[in-house]
Amino acid sequence: MRVLGVDPGLTRCGLGVVDGRPGKAAMVAVGVVRTPSDGDPGERLVYLERELDTWLGRYEPDVVAVERVFADTNITTVMTTAHATAVALLTATKRGIPVVFHTPTEVKAAVTGSGRAGKAQVTAMVTRILGLEVAPRPADAADALALAICHAWRGAQLARLDALAAAQGRR
């Protein structure tokens, strides 16, 4: 399964593509889309959409995994993150690619074994899991790869459980 992980943000949006299945993962690509914080918000969103669309066309993921926005005391940050999330959802959906959401706690637990892991632990485990010589930087890039790994490992299991539940419901 090929997964594009998106760590949404308007100033820095992490992108990571992983080929994986439960217990196995290989990095295909990683990067960060940056927009100037003092730029026009609409233009920044259009630029993010173009970049995401380029990644979707280039890497042809089976699914896009996006970090679920959580409430924070800084409403401005939450809103810009929500805008970036919406761009990822819209861009993938226009191409017919399913989008799934994972909470930061789910992602941390999937890659480190602890939902309370810090950014350094997540980055270290992403580096180890993917067999990278150098840790992905900045943290947004590592987080995007962690999202992709999380879905590659957990998404397949969840899909099997959903299929079993649906089959039971038909009986």
Strands (E), 41-155: 63-67, 99-102
CA contacts within 13 A on the Cβ side of 114: 8
Whether 140 is catalytic is: yes
For the beta carbon of residue 27, count every other beta carbon within 10 angstroms.
20
Q: Which residues contact 129 (CB under 8 A, 6 or more apart)?
A: 25, 111, 149
Active site residue 7: yes
Task: Exactly one of 49, 51, 140, 143 is catalytic; name it.
Answer: 140
60, two tokens: 């042809």
Q: And the tokens for 14?
A: 């992490």
Catalytic residue among 53, 67, 133, 143: 67
User: What number of residues does the chain have?
Assistant: 171
- Spatial distance between the Cα atoms of 96 and 91, rounded to a whole number of angstroms: 9
Q: Which of 7, 49, 51, 143 is catalytic?
A: 7
Strands across the sheet containing 63-67: 24-34, 12-21, 2-7, 63-67, 99-102
Going from the C-alpha of 20 to that of each of 48, 97, 127, the distances in angstroms are: 26, 17, 15
Active site residues: 7, 67, 140
